[in-house]
A and B are shown apart, each in its own frame.
Chain A
Amino acid sequence: MSAVRWWASLALPFALLALLRVFLPLPFAIEVVLVSIYTIGCSFLFGRVGLISFGQPAYLAVGAYAAAFYFTDFGSNPYIGILIGCAAGAVASLLIGPIFVRLRSDYFALVNLALAVIIYFLMQKALAPLTNGDNGMWFLTSLEPTPLLDLTRPDHFFVFALLVGFLVWAFYKYLDGSIYGACCLGTKINEDKLTFLGYDNFSIRLMAFVIANTTTALAGALYAVYLGFVSPEITSPTRAVDPVVVAILGGAGTLFGPIVGAVAYTGMKDVLSRIFGNWELFIGFLLVVIMLSGEQGIWGTLEPQLKKLIMRKLP
């Protein structure tokens, strides 16, 4: 694939996301972009490496709280806060990854859920003198306006989040086409086969774990800057399944599945919750339908059809 086509195939979905801003309310558009970034790590781990994680809120909280501590105690530059959130996610993943990635898929899922519960109670109870417990940490007014893109302004923040999202997707697209991406798929399909060739599955899984959770922490730091507020609710175990649901809805392991899943999930939450109290019921039914129809998700089903259509139209 030529470089132009490579970037064009990436730019098109983000141009469509930018259009959301024109037709839909700004908070909805921002939520879609942030949920997409939040989900891509989980989707990569699940769909590409075969590791399902119910603990993504823990890594989201690591990024969000790291940024929050910076804003409340050390500085007010949103860009630095976001970088600190990312770095905290990478460090946390590197510290716990060597223990977690040794576990097989089902235990991996549960141990991550346990981590989310631990972080939730740490932030809510044990570290309450630092985190203000359920009241959360507030810093919206202390954020410093930044030149060019002022992240304290929601419209500027949307553009920034979109740019960050674009770079994140470029990175994951590169990974998908790389030898490392093939190794990830290899470790998911049959790790013994990779070992025959001389690959260390542990290193492959650890690297995927760090990449995925650093991205999740980035989403957490972005949430912190956007909301100007962080509370233990961000790592609530009751929301632990959200990124997995979004990933499956969109198509786990596909590049654009998290974006499609985020649009569908946020849209349904927004529209259905106005009509029905229990909107999650519809998500549940939709997931059952997706699972029964081949586990491909919305984008996983649409992508091959679109490719066929484009190939027919192209000379």
Chain B
Amino acid sequence: MSSAALTVKELHVAYGESKALFGIDMNTQVGEIVACVGRNGAGKTTLLRTIAGFLKPTSGSIIADSTNLVGLKAFAVAGMGIKYVPQDKKVFSQLTVKENLELGSYASGDYNWTPVTDYFPKLKLLMDRKAGHLSGGERQMLMIGRAILGAPKILLVDEPTEGLAPSVVGQLKEVFQDLAKKCTLVIVEQNLPLVCAIADRVYALNNGKIVAELDDRSSIKPEICEQYL
């Protein structure tokens, strides 16, 4: 029997006077891949950033490991094993790939890079290269690689395939499917074929509200998801 990894209840978030999320309810079971889909401005990134502790909700709760994450600093949330991989693919460009991974290792106490290089063998060849000189796909590999150090419990991934070549997207798909055996993934993604291929549960967002929850694999299809966008 699966247990809850992350439970979001009645979450309201605002940027000053401007409200962004209205009463979001979300349940994620351990080992699930949960996808959030929606148009630009629907509130997907806001939802992930709030879970990661970068935004303080006006009300509601976010429960993981029997702890309410609301009010915790972002670094404390990361310290609990809830890692956020942001959308913009900005790594520490002045540091090498190795130094970027070392930062991840030091923070998590995990110096075993084998899982990272197993998932992304290309990174082995790029260890001494400045991260600023990597391609978009390589940066994404580095960011995900850095985030999985320390065996996170929940991985929050924001638009991981945006602007990437189809071959890299295919590689990421396999990585996410394998990662789901070890942790829970919450992915914000606009690539519906990818979402439908890997997600166990899909939340469709529109104007800051959840307009649909699909938790039956047979109903998670691009044409069905598209209706809610």
Contact = CB atoms under 8 A, between A and B. Distances in A.
Interface of A: 179, 182-183, 185-186, 189-190, 192-201
A201 B73 CA distance: 11
Interface stretch (B21-29, B81-89, B163-171): B81-89
B102 A179 contact: yes
Contacts of B92: 182, 185-186, 189-190, 193
Contact of A182 (B54, B83, B86, B99): B99
A185 B94 contact: yes
Interface in B77-135: 78-79, 83-86, 90-95, 99, 102-104, 106-108
A198 B79 contact: yes
Contact of B146 (A195, A197, A201): A197
Contacts of B91: 193
A186 B102 CA distance: 12
A104 B216 CA distance: 48
A197 B73 CA distance: 12
A188 to B, nearest CB: 9
Nearest to A190: B90
Given A179-B103, A186-B92, 19 more contacts: A182-B92, A182-B95, A182-B99, A189-B92, A192-B74, A193-B90, A193-B91, A195-B54, A195-B78, A196-B83, A197-B103, A197-B146, A198-B107, A198-B108, A199-B75, A199-B103, A200-B73, A200-B75, A201-B75
Contacts of B13: none
A196 to B, nearest CB: 5
Contacts of B93: 189
Contacts of B107: 197-199
A196 B94 contact: no
A197 B78 CA distance: 6
B185 interface: no
Interface string B35-68: 0000000000000000010100000000000000
Nearest to B83: A196
A146 B120 CA distance: 61
Given A179-B106, A182-B103, A183-B103, A196 B78 contact: yes
Contacts of A198: 75, 78-79, 83, 107-108
B147 interface: yes
Contact of B94 (A179, A189, A192, A194): A189
A197 B75 CA distance: 7
A195 B94 contact: no
A198 B54 CA distance: 12
A182 B108 CA distance: 15
B78 A182 contact: no
A204 to B, nearest CB: 10
A172 to B, nearest CB: 17
A196 B102 contact: no
B54 A192 contact: yes
A22 B74 CA distance: 55
Nearest to A185: B94
A198 B85 CA distance: 12
A201 B54 CA distance: 13
Ranked nearest first, the 7 interchain pairs of A and B with the lowest CB-CB distance are A198-B78, A198-B107, A197-B107, A179-B106, A195-B74, A198-B79, A200-B75
Given A192-B54, A193-B90, A182 B102 contact: yes
14 contacts: A179-B106, A182-B92, A185-B92, A185-B94, A186-B95, A192-B86, A193-B86, A193-B92, A194-B103, A197-B104, A198-B75, A198-B83, A198-B108, A200-B73
Contacts of A199: 75, 103, 107
A199 B86 CA distance: 16
Contacts of A186: 92, 95, 103
Contact of A196 (B86, B95, B99, B106): B86
A203 to B, nearest CB: 9
A292 B54 CA distance: 36
Contacts of A179: 102-103, 106
Contacts of B86: 192-193, 196
Nearest to A195: B74
A101 to B, nearest CB: 15
A224 B38 CA distance: 66
Residue of B52, B91, B102, B106 ringed by the most chain A CB atoms within 10 A: B106
Nearest to B73: A200
A186 B146 CA distance: 14
A155 B85 CA distance: 57
A208 to B, nearest CB: 16
Contacts of A197: 78, 83, 103-104, 107-108, 146-147
A118 to B, nearest CB: 31
